[in-house]
Chains A and B, each alone.
Chain A
Amino acid sequence: MPAERFLHSLRTAALLLACCAAGAAHAAGEAVPVSDDPVLEARVLALSHNLRCLVCQNESVAESRAPLAVDMRNQVREQLAAGKSEKEVVDFLIARFGDFVVFTPPFKASTVLLWLGPAILLVAALGAFALRLRRRQQEVPVPLGEAERVRARALLEAAPPPEEPYK
C-alpha cells in the first residue's frame, strides 16, 4: 500500500514539475524588449499600472500581454524617452482611447457625482444622525397615565418566574 501511495505522489510531483516547466518556457517566449535604462523602465511600469488595457479590460497595461497593451507600453516608453511628461503621455492616450483608458477617471462635469458622491452621502448620513440625536435629547418623556401604571403593575405581578434556560 505505501509503495503504491509513494508512486502516486511521485507521479503527481512529476506532473506538477512538467506544468511549471511548460509555464516557464511559455513566459520566456513572451519576453518583451525593454529599454536598458532602469529608471525609464520604472517610470513606464508605474504609468502603465494606471492604464487600462482595452482588450482585457480589468487588466492594466503593465500586466497585460495583449498585443495592444504591448503597443501601449512601447508608446509610453518612446514618449517618456523623448522627454515628455507623464501627464502629456496620458493625455495623448486619452485623446485616442478615451477616459476609459485610465483607471482613475478625470474630474469633470460628467464625473462629479462619481468623485463627490460618496463624500456627499457620508455628510448627509452624518447630518441625519446628528439631527436625530439632537431631537432625541430634546424629547420630553411622556409620563405614564394612571391606567397604564395599573396595567404595568399587573403585568409585573402576574409574570411567572423566569425559567432557567439550561439545566
Chain B
Amino acid sequence: MKAKFLVPLVIFLALAGFLAYGLKLNPREVPSPLVGKPAPAFSVAQLQAPEASFSSADMRGQVWLLNVWASWCVSCRQEHPLLVELGRRGVVPVVGLNYKDGRADALDYLVRHGNPYTTIAVDPEGKVGFDYGVYGTPETFLIDREGVIRYKHIGPLTREHFERVLMPMITELSRAG
C-alpha cells in the first residue's frame, strides 16, 4: 500500500525502456521473410558472357553468397574492397547480381574497382531482385548447399560484421553434411 506512489514511476521507466530500445533499432533493417526459405530460383544471362546463362541451381551443393550490386550504387563501393579480398582469399564463392545496371557501366566499374565475383548474373529490370525482396543495394544473401537462404544483410558489409556474423555461419554450414 505504501509503495502505491511508485506505480507511475515504474510505468514511466518501463515506457522509457521500450522507447530507448526502439531508438536503437534500425528501421532500414527489415527482417526478410526469405530467411530459412529456399532461395527463389532464377536463370539469367551472365555479365561477362551475355550468351551464357547463370542459374541459381548451378550453385547446389555449395555454400555461397549472392551479392546484389550496381555501378550506380554508392554504398556498394564501400564494401567492394572487402568483397575483393574475400574473392582473392577464396573464402566463399561470391555470385554478383548486377541490379538495374547497364552492361558497359558495370564492366567499367569492375575494371576500376576489381572483380571479386565468381560469376555475375545480370538483372537489368530488377526482376530477380524483386523476387529476393531487394529494396536497397547492396544486399547480400548467404545461401546453403540445399539452396536455402540462411542470412540476409542489407547495406554495405563491414569486415567486423563479416568476421563476427557471416564467417562463423559459413564455416558452420560448410562443415555440416
- Please give me the residue from chain A that is nearest to B132 by CB atom: A96
Inter-chain CA distance A100–B126, complex, in Å, is 20
Interface residues of A (CB under 8 A from B): 54-55, 57, 67-68, 71, 75, 94-100
Shortest C-beta distance, A162 to chain B (Å), equals 33
Q: Is the CB of A75 within 8 A of B130?
A: yes
Inter-chain CA distance A75–B130, complex, in Å, is 9
Shortest C-beta distance, B131 to chain A (Å), equals 6
Contact residue among A55, A67, A97 (Cβ-Cβ distance under 8 Å from B133): A97
Contact partners of A96 in chain B: CB under 8 A = 33-34, 130-133
- Please give me the residue from chain A that is nearest to B130 by CB atom: A71
Contact residue among A68, A71, A98 (Cβ-Cβ distance under 8 Å from B33): A98
Interface residues of B (CB under 8 A from A): 27-28, 30-34, 100, 126, 130-133, 135-136
Contact partners of B100 in chain A: CB under 8 A = 67
Q: Is the CB of B133 within 8 A of A71?
A: no
- Please give me the residue from chain A that is nearest to B32 by CB atom: A98
Main secondary structure of the interface of A (DSSP, over half): helix
Q: Is the CB of A97 within 8 A of B30?
A: yes
Shortest C-beta distance, A74 to chain B (Å), equals 10
Task: Name 19 extra pairs, CB < 8 A, besides A55-B135, A96-B33, A97-B30.
Answer: A57-B28, A67-B100, A67-B126, A68-B126, A68-B135, A71-B126, A71-B130, A96-B34, A96-B130, A96-B131, A96-B133, A97-B33, A97-B133, A98-B30, A98-B31, A98-B32, A98-B133, A99-B33, A100-B30
- Please give me the residue from chain B that is nearest to A67 by CB atom: B100
Contact partners of A54 in chain B: CB under 8 A = 30, 135-136
Inter-chain CA distance A68–B28, complex, in Å, is 15
Inter-chain CA distance A98–B100, complex, in Å, is 22
Contact partners of B27 in chain A: CB under 8 A = 57
Q: Is the CB of A94 within 8 A of B130?
A: no
Contact partners of A68 in chain B: CB under 8 A = 126, 135
Contact partners of A99 in chain B: CB under 8 A = 33
Inter-chain CA distance A68–B33, complex, in Å, is 18
Contact partners of B32 in chain A: CB under 8 A = 98
6 interchain residue pairs of minimum CB distance: A54-B135, A96-B133, A98-B33, A97-B133, A100-B30, A68-B135
